[in-house]
Amino acid sequence: MTAASAVLVVAAAERFGGADRVGVLYAAVGAGGLLASAAAMRHGSVRVMRSTLVAGALAEIVLLAILTLSRGLLTAMLCVAASAAAGALYQVWGATELQLRASPEVLGRASAALVGAQYTGMILGALAATVLVPLIGWDHALFTACCVGLGAVAATATGTLRETAAQPVV
């Protein structure tokens, strides 16, 4: 999501009606995340399978990749809102699962690893946008970041799902 946030100003200026439209795009991001957060609060602590978390991460990324193909402001708003909603849901559900599954002795370290991974993603996404946008344009830069993100999710999810399939969930 950071790579997308970093390119939205350029995207608004070049494709979605002018730089002043970036506020509408950021509002759509906020609305998607807020609606999904409200839905997650309404349903409380639900147990979700790891595959659901992976699907949420994939949805967040694929919707941003679709944004790069979008030509209209409304379509762009829907892409970023839906992406933010998917991201909010899998992050809330993932944090809940972590708290339910991790033993108290390691919960702090596990939470710190999760937050560290999120900030690492922010740094990498921002750096990718900074380097790639001038070279290949915002849309190709974001699409490239999405491809890298899909690869990262696939690499980590495949090992995690394979390992947990062999072990009973406690």
**What's the pLDDT tens digit per position in 133-143?**
999 999 999 99
Higher pLDDT, 162 or 113: 113
The residue-averaged pLDDT of 140-165 equals 82
Q: Is the pTM of this model over 0.85?
A: yes
Alpha helices (H) in 21-168, listed in sequence order = 22-43, 50-67, 73-101, 104-136, 138-166
With 70 as the cut, is the pLDDT of residue 127 above it?
yes
With 80 as the cut, is the pLDDT of residue 164 above it?
no
Q: In the prediction, which pLDDT does 132 show?
A: 96
Read off the pLDDT of residues 23-32 as tens digits, 9 standing for 90 and up: 999 999 999 9
Q: In the prediction, which pLDDT does 11 show?
A: 96
Domain ranges in the chain? Answer: 2-166
| Alpha-carbon 57 to chain mean position | 6
Res. 162 pLDDT band, cuts 50 70 90: low
With 80 as the cut, is the pLDDT of residue 99 above it?
yes
CA distance 169 to 65: 34
Contacts of 162-169 spanning 24+ positions with Cβ under 8 A: 164/50, 169/101
Q: In the prediction, which pLDDT does 146 show?
A: 95
Q: How far is CA 137 from CA 9, 33, 57, 64, 150, in A?
A: 12, 27, 24, 15, 20
With 70 as the cut, is the pLDDT of residue 160 above it?
no
Q: In the prediction, which pLDDT does 47 show?
A: 79
What percent of the chain has pLDDT above 70? Answer: 92
Residue appearing with tokens 């350029």 = 10
Q: In the prediction, which pLDDT does 140 show?
A: 97
Q: 25 near 16, Cβ under 8 Å? A: yes
